[in-house]
Amino acid sequence: MRPLWTCPRCGRTFASTNQTHTCAALGSLEDHFARSAPVVREIFDAMRAHVEPVEVLAERTRIAFHLRMSFAAFTPSRDRLDGHLVLARSAQHPAFRKVEVYSPRNVLHAFRLREPPDAELLALLSEAREVGEQRHLG
């Protein structure tokens, strides 16, 4: 695998040289969860703990889990955690609200959680982590 490219302006890393992105300062997790019920942060923390070590990017509109590429993103609200996983295949889970196929190995699975993730969803998150490492390409 080739080395990651680092944007000289914002310092973020990407698998592709000169990848299109918005150079913006990262925010804080606390700001994202400021108006959320404690269970929403518990859900996020359970998912984060399951994939550590991982780079957590608190962007303006979302929180992303990033390795060679971002493989999961989250948007906390008052009583739930919305987000998506990127898998190299289509999968099913009761929390999935929408599945969008961008290419055969790039399938977005949008979810909504109001309680901590079950073992099946955590297994899918582990699979998404492998996509973030780009293991699915080898």
Rounded to whole angstroms, how far apart are CA atoms 96 and 115?
A: 14
Domain locations in the chain as residue ranges: 27-137
pLDDT digits (tens, 9 = 90+) for 85-121: 999 999 999 999 999 999 989 999 999 999 999 999 9
The rounded mean pLDDT for the chain is: 93
Rounded to whole angstroms, how far apart are CA atoms 40 and 23?
A: 28
Write down the pTM of the prediction: 0.89
Question: Strand 55-58 and strand 13-14: pairing?
Answer: unpaired
